[in-house]
Structure 1
Amino acid sequence: MGAAEEKFIKSGKLSLWTERFGDRGDPVVLLVMGTSTPGLGWPDDLVDTLVAGGRQVIRFDHRDTGRSDCVDFTTDPYTLADLAADSLAVLDAYDTLSAHVAGASLGGAVGQWLAAHRPERVTTLTAIMTSPMGTDAGPIWVRALSGQAPDPDDLPPPAPSFLEHLMRAAAVPRITREEYIAANVETWRVLSGEVLPFDEAAARRLVEESYDRAGNPAAATNHDLAGRAMTADRRAPLSSIKAPTLVIHGTADPLLPPPHGAALAARIPGARLETIEGMGHSFLSPDLPRRVAELILRNTAQ
């Protein structure tokens, strides 16, 4: 891992932890992580591959994760637009007018929001293991958890293996550090799917570092609440996105099955869909971070 510049930046009243890698003259790739995961969720191998490919890389801890500030969601709720505003604040702090934006899962929805509402700030968009930002997953999950058949007009629900894991996990205590780590490693195991090898050591490092860096590990669950808030701005037509877009999706994603990625690519003019055989809903398989980084490099060679 190369030398990084770390600094805290301001987004409104919040302080967000950030770090930057690479040559300051190279094009910027802003990495936006997914639900409940700090910037370290972007593996070092992925960052190193981007830097070696001539990119300057910025990753950061979302609010409510890592070393960034936590929020009392009850009194100060936030939405996808607020997470997008945090991303813009990071770019502003690094004097970056426009960046290649790569987002994973919820971060992919943030990237869509930026490309639709602030197109001048997005040079290219890479959306990884995500779904159209206007998709209301609530009814889909309700039908799945209640045993009802999926609505044929909806995108598919999570795989039964993931829903069964959620039911089991609800009864598992997460009071001590050890309980938290064991439970979250198991969640990453299920999210990673059943095809590619699961890098348990990498998952454990991520979970341990996420826990140890966080001021309040429980605050990260606020991302689920923010992700469910279907505000009007999320209904913006994806057909308005002009940034060259690459959608990367795994064929074994148990949280957002492949039709989610296909639907997103179909709604953005000129978007390309790149499927990775066996990839689930994580980067936690040997050599997978490098493969994803190489796809990002190709999309950002604009």
Structure 2
Amino acid sequence: MIGDEKYVTSGGLRLWTERFGDRDDPGVLLVMGTSAQAIGWPDELVARLVHSGRQVVRFDHRDTGLSDCVDFTANPYTLADMTADTLAVLDGHGIDRAHVVGVSLGGAIGQWLAVHHRARVQTLTAIMTSPMGNNAGPAWARAIAGRPAAPDELPPPAPRFLRHVVESAHAPRATPEQRIDADLRTWRVLNGEALPFDEPAARRFVERSHQRAHDPAAAGNHDLAGRQFTEERLAPLSSITAPTLVIHGSEDPIFATAHAEALAAQVPGARLHVIDGMGHNLFSPGLPERIADLVADHTATR
């Protein structure tokens, strides 16, 4: 698919955006997850939404793709700053209210918007994510150390994924081919073992991501930003008024289904849709279209 490319400005940073569909149609803003570029939203998903009568905007977060990179040591940022970027994208495209669709970290950004900028969020769809105030760090640390989870915390990632995280830290990345292979292994693990993994699609995404990135290493700053838990991030989700759909996979290796259940329980009137076998990516044949249909249905009458 070929969209209308445009740069918008957020606090002095230039962010790359791409818009599809008729400007008069309701706007859907797609917010990608940690370290992932806008092209992580498959063209099949975008095309399906456009065909359903939606204007679709996707964008590269700061430190990814064609957007500007940040010296995180000199200018650290938090989820609040990434949310401000998201608002700048809406402003840059003249969209007052949008159907916000976020995946993983993008789902947390969507929650932040729905809590602190209610007037801008027509509906919220949170995909494969967790409540924005959930600090998963201690659970990860305990699991990696082989200790049991605390009784009051949401489940840690699956053992297979945690093993991959440890092994991946020592994987060779001296050449472009090695970096691509390492990223591809991560997406394969994230897919889980239930649904088929579309390796050619994942490889195209990884290769194109490396080609587009100003600085591939800068995307790691998202992890640092995501670890910051400010007072605003801990605000109760019970204040969300936007109709909310939570989409989650039964085989998500990062966020067990309990994370989605907790999120849906905290947002008034939220609906939870669990996709059997889905992991923590969109690289399975037919899955992008299935997600698009759920979003189209959720946004159809609102």
**Shorter-chain TM band:** over 0.9
Three-state SS of the structure 2 residue aligned to 1:219 is helix
Aligned to 1:51: 50
Three-state SS of the structure 1 residue aligned to 2:88 is helix
Aligned to 2:99: 100
How do 1:205-216 and structure 2 match up within 5 A?
Answer: 205-216=204-215
Q: In the alignment, does 2:108 pair up with 1:109?
A: yes
Aligned to 1:91: 90
Aligned to 1:26: 25
Distance (whole Å) between structure 2 residues aligned to residue 262 and residue 168 of structure 1 = 30
Q: In the alignment, does 2:144 pair up with 1:145?
A: yes
Distance (whole Å) between structure 2 residues aligned to residue 293 and residue 269 of structure 1 = 23
Aligned to 2:189: 190
Aligned to 2:69: 70
Aligned to 2:258: 259
Aligned to 1:245: 244
TM-score, with structure 1 as normaliser: 0.99
Aligned to 1:17: 16
TM-score, with structure 2 as normaliser: 0.99
How far the C-alpha of 1:176 sits from its partner, in A, is: 1.5
Q: In the alignment, does 2:140 pair up with 1:136?
A: no
Q: Deviations over 1:24-54 (max 9, x none)?
A: 1100000000000010000000000000000
How far the C-alpha of 1:153 sits from its partner, in A, is: 1.1
Amino acid of the structure 1 residue aligned with 2:182: A
Three-state SS of the structure 2 residue aligned to 1:7 is strand
How far the C-alpha of 1:76 sits from its partner, in A, is: 0.5
Three-state SS of the structure 1 residue aligned to 2:141 is helix
Amino acid of the structure 2 residue aligned with 1:191: L
- Where has structure 1 moved over 4 Å in runs of 4 or more? none
How far the C-alpha of 1:8 sits from its partner, in A, is: 0.8
Unpaired stretches in structure 2, ≥5 consecutive residues = none
How do 1:222-237 and structure 2 match up within 5 A?
Answer: 222-237=221-236
How far the C-alpha of 1:284 sits from its partner, in A, is: 0.4
Aligned to 1:39: 38
Aligned to 1:154: 153
Report % sequence identity.
Answer: 64
Distance (whole Å) between structure 2 residues aligned to residue 193 and residue 78 of structure 1 = 31
Instruction: Calculate the aligned-residue CA RMSD, in Å.
Output: 0.6
Distance (whole Å) between structure 2 residues aligned to residue 297 and residue 228 of structure 1 = 32
Aligned to 1:5: 4
Distance (whole Å) between structure 1 residues aligned to residue 9 and residue 143 of structure 2 = 40
State how many pairs are aligned: 301
Aligned to 1:171: 170
Amino acid of the structure 1 residue aligned with 2:188: R
Q: Deviations over 1:246-298 (max 9, x none)?
A: 00000000011111011100000000000000000000000000000000011
Amino acid of the structure 2 residue aligned with 1:241: I
Distance (whole Å) between structure 1 residues aligned to residue 173 and residue 221 of structure 2 = 16
How far the C-alpha of 1:175 sits from its partner, in A, is: 2.5
How far the C-alpha of 1:160 sits from its partner, in A, is: 0.2
Amino acid of the structure 2 residue aligned with 1:70: C
Distance (whole Å) between structure 2 residues aligned to residue 231 and residue 299 of structure 1 = 31
Amino acid of the structure 2 residue aligned with 1:85: A
Amino acid of the structure 1 residue aligned with 2:264: A
How far the C-alpha of 1:232 sits from its partner, in A, is: 1.1
